[in-house]
Amino acid sequence: MLKRLDIVAVALILGLAIGCKKEAATNIEVTEPLAESPTDTTVPAPPRPIKVYTNDTVTVNAYEFDNGLDYYLNQKNDTTYVVNFWATWCVPCVQELPHFEKINAKYKENKVKVILVSLDMAKMIDTKLLPFINQKQIKSQVLLLRDPDADSWIPKVDSTWSGAIPATVIYNKDMRKFYERSFTYDELEKEISNFK
Amino acid sequence: MKTIKFLAMFLAIGALAAFKADVPAAGYKVGDIAADFSLKNVDGKKVSLKDIKNAKGYIVVFTCNHCPYAQAYEDRVVALDKKYKALGYPVVAINPNNPEKQKEDSFAKMQERAKEKKFAFPYLLDDGQKVYPLYGATKTPHVYVLEKTAKGNVVKYIGAIDDNYEDATLVKQKYVEAAVDALLKGKEVSVKETKAIGCSIKA
């Protein structure tokens, strides 16, 4: 059911994005609220992207931080989220991506979800980011953070973050940790095991 | 007994590692006195802050060749130097990366880049990666505005150049310019510290 709603939502957004292609991304307005389960009013609906980037095979939603990415850093359910900040041009980020992919695949049934937050610049999305996701067959969810006023949101991710990437937040409803560093697979798996 | 010792050592190392992770990186805070250095410039000569004549202070920029964020700011760094060198606040750029880890940041490539972009300011290699940890730089670009005083070079601003790395035309706040403008008027810098995304330094 959820999957179907997602598809409907994406289709709606896509349709809107295509419809408004000539206008600025921020002009996309969704008048109807996204479908929400009527029995579960405590869970807020996912935010609407400011823009949807797509080619033939890959679709990536772009968000600003407030009323956008912050949702994905503050979900309160029984899943442990591993949120990695990266970019295609960041060598150490790309080196550790396979570890995040492996975690996402291996722990899918164990309520661990990886979210890859790309910080690629606007001009690199069509030429670098989308082809990269396609080529590397990235299975984890990829979001794009398009919010150039970084000083406004870096401290909201973590007060100790200097802004260097790679950086990772691991959290669930009870616990949260921030890492301004690279991981080997074993290090990452060990950190996640502390969240059980 | 041996195992216990071993375990204790293991625990101690673990504790140390945990400790290290929880403490913010060392380095200068606003108000600290920044150390001078002697680093090799792209022209082959060593440069120290004290050698720069008529300086009232310095705009020290940790930057490099390879990082797209650093590249996005190159023209703006050139413009900062052009505007503020005459007013007593020249740019001093330092590449903190280890060229063995990041080939594009080799000394030869730095020379090429400086020529290409017509850098009119020193572009220094932090050979051995000794200066950036003193300052506490973690990424490129990472700016320190220093004011030259009788006590030494006082750190007055740490952080980003402005609030939009993507598009210079959409910038609302020019943090470095505002800091230097305030210092030139003998006023307090109002925004003393900002955070920005950057490429982690490859030591």
In this prediction, residue A44 carries a pLDDT of 79
* Contact assignment for B24 to A160 by CB distance below 8 Å: yes
**Position B149 in a domain:** yes
Q: What is the pLDDT of residues B60-114, one digit of tens each?
A: 999 999 999 999 999 999 999 999 999 999 999 999 999 999 999 999 999 999 9
Q: Which two tokens stand for residue B128?
A: 């051995």
A127 in contact with B at a CB cutoff of 8 Å? no
CATH number at residue B149: 3.40.30.10
* Contact assignment for A163 to B199 by CB distance below 8 Å: no
In this prediction, residue A142 carries a pLDDT of 98
**Position B148 in a domain:** yes
* Contact assignment for A165 to B200 by CB distance below 8 Å: yes
Tell me how far apart the alpha carbons of residues B171 and B79 are, in angstroms, rounded to a whole number: 14
Report chain A residues whose CB lies below 8 A from the CB of B164.
Answer: 148-149
A98: closest CA of chain B, how far (Å): 19
Report chain B residues whose CB lies below 8 A from the CB of A178.
Answer: none
Name the CA radius of gyration of chain A, rounded.
17
Confidence of residue B146 (pLDDT cuts 50, 70, 90): very high
Contacts of B197 (CB under 8 A, 6+ apart): A119, A150, A154, A163, A164, A165, B69, B139, B165
**Position B17 in a domain:** no
Chain B interface, best mutation among A26, A124, A149, A191, by max B CB count within 10 A: A149
* Contact assignment for B68 to A166 by CB distance below 8 Å: no
What percentage of chain B carries pLDDT values higher than 90?
84
Nearest to A92 among B163, B197, B200 (CB): B200
Tell me how far apart the alpha carbons of residues A36 and A46 are, in angstroms, rounded to a whole number: 9
In this prediction, residue A15 carries a pLDDT of 45
A121 in contact with B at a CB cutoff of 8 Å? yes
In this prediction, residue B16 carries a pLDDT of 45
Contacts of A165 (CB under 8 A, 6+ apart): A85, A86, A87, A90, A93, A119, B197, B198, B199, B200
Whether the model pTM is above 0.95: no
> How many helices (H) does chain B have, and how many strands (E)?
5, 10
Inter-CA distances, A146 with A47, A62, A63, A168, Å: 14, 6, 6, 18
Reduced 3-state DSSP string for B19-52? HHHHCCCCCCCCCCEECCCCEEECCCCEECHHHC
Question: Within the 36-75 window of chain A, which residues sit less than 8 Å (CB to CB) from chain B?
Answer: none
Chain B interface, best mutation among A95, A125, A151, by max B CB count within 10 A: A151
* Domains of chain A and CATH, by start: 1-38 (no CATH), 46-193 (3.40.30.10)
What percentage of chain B carries pLDDT values higher than 70?
88
Report chain A residues whose CB lies below 8 A from the CB of B158.
Answer: none
**Position B143 in a domain:** yes
Range of B84's domain? Answer: 27-200
A14 in contact with B at a CB cutoff of 8 Å? no
* Contact assignment for A148 to B166 by CB distance below 8 Å: yes
In this prediction, residue B100 carries a pLDDT of 94
Residue B3 neighbours by CB distance under 10 Å: 7
> How many helices (H) does chain A have, and how many strands (E)?
6, 8
Q: Which of A48, A46, A81 is nearest to A63 (CA)?
A: A48
Q: How many domains does chain B have?
A: 1
In this prediction, residue A106 carries a pLDDT of 97
Tell me how far apart the alpha carbons of residues A118 and A131 are, in angstroms, rounded to a whole number: 13
Complex confidence, ipTM: 0.79
Q: Does residue B38 surpass a pLDDT of 80?
A: yes
- Average pLDDT of adjacent 10-residue blocks, chain A of 196 residues: 50 45 41 49 83 94 96 96 96 96 96 97 94 97 95 96 96 96 97 92
CA B65 to chain centre: 14
* Contact assignment for A154 to B72 by CB distance below 8 Å: no
Across A13-22, B112-121, B140-149, least confident range:
A13-22
**Position B5 in a domain:** no
**Position B19 in a domain:** no
**Position B9 in a domain:** no
Q: What is the pLDDT of residues B151-180, one digit of tens each?
A: 999 999 999 999 999 899 999 999 999 999
Q: How far apart are the first and last CA of chain A?
A: 27
In this prediction, residue A133 carries a pLDDT of 97
In this prediction, residue A45 carries a pLDDT of 86
